[in-house]
Structure 1
Amino acid sequence: MGETEQAPPGVDITVPSPARIYDYILGGTANYEVDRQAAEKVRQAMPDMVDTAWANRGFLQRSVRWLAEQGVRQFIDVGAGLPTGNNTHDAVQAVAPDARILYADFDPIVEMHAKELLKDVPGTACITADFRDPDSVLEHPETRAMIDFTEPVALLLVTVTHFVSDEDDPWGLIQQYMDRLVPGSYLALSAVTSDRQMEGAVDDLKKVFAKSSSGGAYPRSRAEIASFFTGLDIVPPYKGAPAEVCYFGEWGAEDPVAADSEGSRWGYCAVARKPA
C-alpha cells in the first residue's frame, strides 16, 4: 500500500501506527509510507529490530501452543496487531480445534483486516478496544458472547505494556483484568526493555513512538516487567530454568543458548498462572 491509495474510513495514515509498523517489520503489506518511514527510524535505534520482532512472535506462538496443551480453551489477545503468518488462532487451534480466540486492538484497521481473515474461521472474533479501558475489552458484546468467564482464560499482552505510561498504571490495569478471571487462568506477557541498551538508542525509540498513534513508548527494566506478574505463579520458561521472566527467544526454546540472540535481548517475557 502507499499513501496515494485511499485509506479505509476511520484510518489515519498521517500518523504512524504501532500495529502497521510491526506489520512492516514482519514483512506484511498492510502499512503505509508513514509507517515504513517510522520503522526505518526504529531500525536506526534498534538494528536488530527484525530479529526482535520474530523472537517476540516466536514467544507468542510457543506460549499459546503450550497453554492449549495445558487445557486452556479461551484466549483474549489484547493489542493483537495486524494479522500475519501463524496467528494466535493458528497456533492454538492446531492443538485444540475447539478453542476460542478473541482479538482486540485499539487501531480500527486491525479489526478491518481481521474480519476478512477470520470470516471462515470458527471460534474467533476481533474487536476494536483499548487495553487501558478493561471494560471496553471484557464487557464488549463480542467478548461476552464468546468468552465464558466462569472458566479459565489466557490473557495475552504481547508487546502491549511498553505503549502504556506509568501514569496510566499498566500494573494496576493488569490487576483489573486478572481480578476478573477465575483461578487457573493465565497471563502471557512480553515487553521491550531498557536494560543493556544504549541510552541514545532508547531515547531515539521513544522519539519515534511519541509521534505515533500510541502516544509514546516506555521500555522498562527487568524488575519493572517482572512486577507485572505480582500475585501470579510464573511458569519455568524451559526445562531446568527458574520460574522467572526471560528474554523473548528463550521461552519454550529447545536450545535456550542458541535462542539468546541480540534481538531477543530487547525484551522480557513470561507466562504465569492465577493461583486458587
Structure 2
Amino acid sequence: MRTTYVDFDPLGMNHARAHLTPGDAVRTLTADLLDTDRLFSAPEVADHLDPTSPIAVSVHATLHWIPDDDAVRHTLHGLVSPLPAGSTVSITHPTADHVPAIRRAQADAVADNDPTLHLRNAHRLHDLLDGLVLLPPGLAPAGSWNTGDAASTDTATWAGIGLKAA
C-alpha cells in the first residue's frame, strides 16, 4: 500500500512528518486541497500512486472549512475525476442534524459566529457526493458508520464512503 498525505497547514505537515514512517510507501505533499490539478500532477502523487489501480482518497475533518458548496463540489469532482474506476472517497463532515435541540442551537450559534466553520446537513452532503455510489450504510453518523448500529445518532459528524463506478 502506498500513501500520500496532503495538507496545506504547516503544523499539520510537521505532525504528519513526525508520525508517518518515511520510505517507499509514504510521501507527504504540502498543497491546497482546492487545487486538485496541482495535487495530481505533483510527483508525490503522480510518481507514487498507481493510476491503473483503485485509489482510496480520505477527506476527513476538512470540507467544513470550505464555505461554498460549489467549491466543495468542484473539489470533490477534481479529486474523483482522475481516479480509476473502483476508487473510493471517504469523507467526514460536522453537522447539527442529529443533536438535541439545545446542542443544535449551540452548533448553529458556533457556525453563525465562526465564519470558518460550515455545518452541512445530510441532504447537502448527498448532493455534493453526487456521481459516487455510497457504500453501505451510506451517509451515516460517524460513531455508527460501520458498527452495525446505523440508527445511532450519538455524534455531530456524518461519515460516508463513495465508490467511483466503472
Shorter-chain TM range is 0.7 to 0.9
Max radius of gyration: which structure? 1
RMSD: 2.1
The answer to whether residue 36 in structure 2 is matched with residue 134 in structure 1 is: yes
Q: Which has the higher strand share?
A: 2
Structure 1 counterpart of 2:165, which letter?
Answer: P
* Mapped partners of 2:60, 2:77: distance in 1: 16
The partner residue of 2:65 within 119, 140, 163 is: 163
Gap change, CA 1:204 and 1:140, over 3 Å in 2? same
* Mapped partners of 1:155, 1:103: distance in 2: 10
The partner residue of 1:272 within 158, 162, 166 is: 162
The partner residue of 1:250 within 130, 144, 153 is: 144
Residue aligning to 1:88? none
Structure 2 counterpart of 1:221, which letter?
Answer: N
Gap change, CA 1:226 and 1:116, over 3 Å in 2? same
Scaled by the length of structure 1, the TM-score of the pair is 0.54
Q: How far apart are residue 203 of structure 1 and its match?
A: 2.5
Q: How does 1:234-245 map to 2 (within 5 A)?
A: 234-237=134-137, 244-245=138-139
Moved >3 Å (runs of 4+): 119-122, 254-257
Q: How far apart are residue 170 of structure 1 and its match?
A: 0.3
Q: How far apart are residue 105 of structure 1 and its match?
A: 0.9
SS of corresponding position for 1:219: coil
SS of corresponding position for 2:47: helix
Q: How far apart are residue 148 of structure 1 and its match?
A: 1.5
* Mapped partners of 1:206, 1:146: distance in 2: 41
* Mapped partners of 1:179, 1:201: distance in 2: 33
Gap change, CA 1:120 and 1:176, over 3 Å in 2? closer
Structure 2 portions without partners, runs of 5+: none
Q: How far apart are residue 246 of structure 1 and its match?
A: 0.6
Residue aligning to 1:146? 48
Q: What number of residue pairs does the alignment pair up?
A: 162
* Mapped partners of 1:116, 1:140: distance in 2: 21
The answer to whether residue 103 in structure 2 is matched with residue 178 in structure 1 is: no
Contact 1:191/1:269 (<8 A) preserved: yes
Please list the CA deviations of residues 193-225 of structure 1 after superposition, one character each: whole Å capped at 9, or x if unmatched: 1324533432224534x4xxxxx1110111001
Please list the CA deviations of residues 51-98 of structure 1 after superposition, one character each: whole Å capped at 9, or x if unmatched: xxxxxxxxxxxxxxxxxxxxxxxxxxxxxxxxxxxxxxxxxxxxxxxx
Gap change, CA 1:254 and 1:142, over 3 Å in 2? same
Structure 1 portions without partners, runs of 5+: 1-98, 211-215, 238-243
The answer to whether residue 95 in structure 2 is matched with residue 201 in structure 1 is: no
Structure 1 counterpart of 2:56, which letter?
Answer: A
SS of corresponding position for 2:11: helix
Gap change, CA 1:250 and 1:196, over 3 Å in 2? closer
The partner residue of 2:90 within 188, 191, 196 is: 188
* Mapped partners of 1:255, 1:196: distance in 2: 15
The answer to whether residue 20 in structure 2 is matched with residue 118 in structure 1 is: yes
Gap change, CA 1:143 and 1:109, over 3 Å in 2? same
Question: Once the two structures are aligned, what percentage of the paired residues are identical?
Answer: 24
Structure 2 counterpart of 1:272, which letter?
Answer: G
Structure 1 counterpart of 2:105, which letter?
Answer: E
